[in-house]
Amino acid sequence: MARILCSTGALASIPNHRDYRLLEPLSRVLDCDGYEFMIYDSWYGKAAEIAAFTRDLGMYIPVTHCEKYTGEYLGSGRSDLTAEAFRFFEIECDFSQKLGADSIVLHLWNGRTSDSAFENNLAAYGRLAAIAADYGEQLLIENVVCVKADPLSRWCELRERYPNVRFVFDTKMAAFHGQLASLYEDDYSWLWREGHIRHYHLNDYGGAPHDWSSLKPLPIGEGTIDFEQFFTFVRSTGYDACFTLESVAYDADGHIYPERINAQLDRLRELGITNRI
């Protein structure tokens, strides 16, 4: 059976000062099968320290997630920012390796620039994939929101130029662009028939397509996504790896509510997608 991970970005974030030490008590009460570890730039230089911390807790971390501005830097077209993006990505791959992960998630485009200069982002992918491979990491490109085209169109461009590209499919991002149902269509069956989707992010979404005010990830069951249909389809493709729950569990003051995560994990298990490792 598949495993369900919790994103550490749903726990340690800006309101609680990105304090990774919060994971110690949380790891004792969260009922997930492991974690997708969000790597923040404020933690650069602390990889060995944080890796020792997570090992002592026995945290299972198969996947990490890069800082989200890397894609914005790549899309800028500025040589200095592009160089910084590659430097930061190498730091993050080293971090990921030290945490014991074998996959690293990247927003290849992001921020205000988004996909408006996508050729810059597209051109950078080959070097990024090579850096990840040097560290024993599988690079996964997420279907993040676009301002010029749409995520699936950008994935098609990536596949055309880099036939071995691998992806992470985010339910909220897909729903924002009205592309969740596209996953079920024959035109996009290559995504799973050719093994391009290697991971899934789980969030609910409650807005209409392209409703920017509704981009905040919702807990499973609080939006309009039909997760029963989604999981029925994903199971039919033979996918049996990890899913990451990303809906946040903290309030404006940074207080974390682990029961919110556990309630969603229970619901996901009711849908039959996972069991404990």
Instruction: Write the pLDDT tens digit of every residue in 191-212.
Output: 999 999 999 999 999 999 999 9
For residue 276, is it within any domain? no
Instruction: Supply the pLDDT for residue 1.
Output: 64
- The alpha carbon torsion through 96, 100, 101, 107 (nearest 10 deg) reads -10
Q: Which residue range is the domain that position 143 belongs to?
A: 3-270
Whether 54 is covered by a domain: the verdict is: yes
Place of tokens 């799973």: 192
pLDDT of residue 61: 98
Find the CATH number of the domain harbouring 165.
Answer: 3.20.20.150
Report the number of distinct structural domains present in the chain: 1
Q: Is residue 175 part of a domain?
A: yes
User: Does any domain span residue 67?
Assistant: yes
Residues of the chain with pLDDT under 70: 1, 274-277
Specify the pLDDT at position 271.
85
Q: What is the pTM of this model?
A: 0.96
The reply to whether 275 falls in a domain is no
- What span, in angstroms and rounded, lies between the C-alpha atoms of 240 and 205? 24
Structural domain includes residue 176: yes
Q: Is residue 239 part of a domain?
A: yes
**Which three-class secondary structure string do you get for 149-188?**
CCHHHHHHHHHHHCCCCCEEEEHHHHHHCCCCHHHHCHHH
Q: What is the pLDDT of residue 274?
A: 55
- For residue 217, the model assigns a pLDDT of 87
